[in-house]
Structure 1
Amino acid sequence: MSSNSSAFSGNVALVTGAGSGIGRAAARQLAERGAAHVVFADIDAQAAACAAKGYERASAVGLDVSDSTNVDDLVNSVVDDHGNLDVVVHAAGIDDPGAKHLLADAVQTGQPFELIGRLSDESWRRMLAVNLDGAFFLLRAAVRHMCAQKSGSVVLVGSSATFDAPVSHPHYSAAKAGVHALGQSVAKEVIAHDVRVNILAPGPTDTGMAQRTPEILKQAAPGSAVSRYATADEMAELALFLASQDAVNVVGGVLLANGGRFTA
């Protein structure tokens, strides 16, 4: 796995969800490993700016990945400003804290957990809009340019939830499963243009999402007695491995990184 300071020398990179968590860690690591320019993009423009602070070859922008025009405009502007786009790490995403708290209440009271019957259209659509539509919009915009330049690497951040399908997050699991299938299908298409697409499937990771998980659920998680939560930096290392030339033969891969909680 590349860890040297020049692994991405000369590359122009775009990272979504760069205001926090895995996205923030990935964007910073790209900047520290020689990237010519890193765009820190996040729906929270202020958080993106804070994450990019101190890096000379970086900029920060607000980005709503569920807005296809917003995504297209940003990707086009990156190429216009820098001439190319070499690396994309798509880490933007949301979960459903309310569903987690409903499950925590059921665990505490010993009652059966009930979610699907009360899951609203709005919650379902929002989850897919950000997690699945956003991945499609970003991937589509990126590969347009990468295929034209005959090079590039995209890493989509999926989830181990696509494999174990946790009871509290059917909408999240469905959206992330879509991300995995989307990435794998597109990978087979664009490799003809020397563009690689891969997917990172993190398990429990110490990010803002994890901090919103009730403690009783963390304690009850399978393998929690032996598997700690990963750090955002550890997940970012794996994302950058997939983006790097070290993974040149990895195309349409799904890297499950869950600390041994289960295997797929």
Structure 2
Amino acid sequence: MTTAQQQRFEGKVALVTGGASGIGAAVARQLAADGARRVHVVDLAEDAARSVAEEIGGAAHGVDVADPDAVRRLVESVVAADGRLDVVVHAAGIDDPIAKGHIYEAAEKDEPLDVLTRVEDSTWRRIHAVNLDGTFHVLRESVRAMRETGGGAIVTVGSSAAFDTLVGYPHYASSKAAVHALCQSVAKEVIHFGIRVNTVAPGPVDTAMAARTPESVRKRMNEGSAFGYATADQLADNITYLASDQASNVVGAVLLSNGGRFTV
């Protein structure tokens, strides 16, 4: 890596949701290593976020992105502390381990899958509240802050499951497909403010979320891939590229990062 690449975020103020672990933590570390002046590490798990922030010399915040007022206060506090917000990576998201259990059970018994009729209303709402509503909240507040200081870059984390849907995961797939459409619409709107919005759509990634996936389901998700599960660092490479000036002409992209499992 060249010195120029190492300092591609020099002087920038960055915010990373879902930053306590997995993809978000890898992104936070890379932003700091690439010269960011301050990285704000945001997660519902505040203690874990604080651990990452202390490691990289950043700041930690305990926030549920499904709460619009909490996201508004978060961004206001970042701008009050650092005067600006240049880079936002929205990696916060949740899946449904109960549905994964149903998928595993059906596979083990060689029975037809029955998830849809067992999904509770509260589960449906929570998946969409975090994955979709949370993305809307983060986008709205980030744009409000960035347009006042001349622009910035926002990268959201979608999912390849929006295209190659996993049977038994309708709530997760629909939430991520909506994230893609939301971000592409917003990207067209806010480029006029000098704000670039892009999305990375990972396939299976070896994170704590993936660790909750039963082995038989993991095997099925991994079929057809030449590379297997990606690492969080590989996703961080994709994300920080989109957030950097190296991607200055990339707007509204949904970047597949799935190891060749499928193309669209």
Please tell me the TM-score bracket, short chain as reference.
Answer: over 0.9
Q: 1:155-213: CA deviations, max 9, x gaps?
A: 00000000011112100011111110110000000001110000000000000111000
Distance 1:202 1:55 in 2: 25
Partner of 2:107: 107
The one-letter code of the counterpart of 1:55 is: I
Identity %: 52
Partner of 2:256: 256
| Secondary structure of the structure 2 residue equivalent to 1:230 | coil
Partner of 1:220: 220
Distance 2:165 2:39 in 1: 34
Query: Would you say 1:145 and 2:117 are equivalent positions?
Result: no
Structure 2: gaps of 5 or more residues = none
Equivalent residue pairs, number:
263
Query: Would you say 1:190 and 2:190 are equivalent positions?
Result: yes
| Secondary structure of the structure 2 residue equivalent to 1:226 | coil
Equivalences for residues 121-160 of structure 1 within 5 A: 121-160=121-160
Structure 1: gaps of 5 or more residues = none
TM-score of the pair, normalised by structure 2: 0.97
**Does the aligned pair in 2 maintain the 1:218–1:224 contact within 8 Å?**
no
Give the drift of 1:150.
Answer: 2.0
The one-letter code of the counterpart of 1:136 is: F
Give the drift of 1:226.
Answer: 3.3
* CA RMSD after TM alignment: 1.4
Query: Would you say 1:49 and 2:81 are equivalent positions?
Result: no
Distance 1:222 1:210 in 2: 12
Equivalences for residues 1-264 of structure 1 within 5 A: 4-56=5-57, 58-223=58-223, 226-264=226-264
| Secondary structure of the structure 2 residue equivalent to 1:35 | coil
TM-score of the pair, normalised by structure 1: 0.97
**Does the aligned pair in 2 maintain the 1:223–1:260 contact within 8 Å?**
no
**Does the aligned pair in 1 maintain the 2:160–2:203 contact within 8 Å?**
yes
The one-letter code of the counterpart of 2:123 is: S
Distance 1:155 1:190 in 2: 13
Distance 2:259 2:253 in 1: 18
